[in-house]
Amino acid sequence: MNKEEQKNSGILDAQEKLNLLTEFGKQISHHSNLDRLLSLIAEQIQKIIGVKRCFIFIKDDSKKEFWSKIASGKGLKYSEIHLPLHGNNIACAVAKSGHTINLADAYSDERFSKELDIITGFKTTALLAVPLKNKEGKVIGVFQLNNKEDNTPFNSRDEGLLKLLATLASGNIEIATLYEEVKLANLETIYRLAVAAEYRDQYDTKTHLTHISTICEMIAKEMGFSGIEVENIKNASLLHDIGKVAIPDHILLKPGKLTPQEYELMKEHTKYSEKILKGAKSKILEIAYKMSVAHHEKWDGSGYPNGLKGEEIPLEARILAVADVFDALCMNRVYKKAWPLENAYEYIVSKAGTDFDEKVVEVFKKVFPNILKLYRK
């Protein structure tokens, strides 16, 4: 049988399989972020097989559902889909049986759900779905393709390709899923530590932490940090006052101006933060260390605890300094009433070049319309 006959019959030769595995493996091997990985896999499958729509359904036993954050294709505006784990649907049928479903006319099969087509204005004709299995043979998801680009039914070659891609992708998806679970657990730990540090002197801890982290995210993104760097800065900022756990209540909660001696003790929270976070190995905690120790330093060198000046202050801490002071001015505290947003904005702008990095303040001014939306929700 020659190459053309093999192609028409749906049979993949050894070299074709090897080339496909190599290229697809290169594309997906360096992604631990689950959303990005699924997006890339969907894009590659659409390109390799030539389909109009690709769903990657992941099985979630705890929630008893299949979910798809990635449902790429023309005309599809919805990024997340949920299906019951034990419902009458294609994904469930494939997962339960462990076998491929190949339909030339999807609407003739009672397991096909027409709702999504109705919502998006897309008409599914042909459909191909294969199980996504881990190395133990357990089904962890389903790949589902709707309509080929040339509007022909899916053939045995398409089935072979999709099974091959599913085999290669399953390990990466399982690793990324586990990584996501660990990451979420770590972030939850960070958040709860932040709450422990903040709740003693905030009327609304959750709001304060949300404001600080979101403003840092906006500024870092506008300054050109990469996606992962922006995410790390956002999450690290939550721990900026972790050292306050060691400040006595009679100082932290004093409903009035601190005496010079009390203020000196309050300033010690940056040193306690240093003791808590110094030597941390994770990237988020490394950044949290820089931010928590140096966010009270000032551009002109008049800040504390080390009197750092200008670019001696880590950039992450300079970003946090603007976000922290702005939010502190806009929040009710035991010793003051909240400032109007516009007054707090003017204060930040007036302190550029003395308290704050002028470049950071310029970016703050650019993103201020979005900050207003955040506070006016």
Handedness of CA 241, 245, 250, 251 (dihedral sign): negative
Give me the pLDDT at residue 86, please.
Answer: 81
> Is the pLDDT score of 59 beyond 90?
no
CATH numbers and ranges of domains, the chain: 3-178 (3.30.450.40), 202-375 (1.10.3210.10)
**What confidence score (pLDDT) does residue 268 get?**
94
The rounded percent of the chain whose pLDDT value lies above 90 is 45
The pLDDT assigned to 325 comes to 96
- Comparing 68-72, 144-148, 319-323, 342-346, the range with the smallest average pLDDT is 68-72
pLDDT attached to residue 352: 97
- Please, which pLDDT band fits residue 8 given cuts at 50, 70 and 90? very low
CA pair distance 308, 300, nearest whole angstrom: 8
pLDDT tens-place string over residues 298-312: 999 999 999 999 999
Q: Which residues contact 233 (CB under 8 A, 6 or more apart)?
A: 216, 217, 220, 225, 287, 316, 319
For the entire predicted model, the pTM comes to: 0.62
Buried b / exposed e across 329-341, counting CB within 10 Å, b at 16+? Answer: bbbeeeeeeebeb
Instruction: Give pLDDT tens digits for 253-312.
Output: 787 888 999 999 999 999 999 998 998 888 899 999 999 999 999 999 999 999 999 999
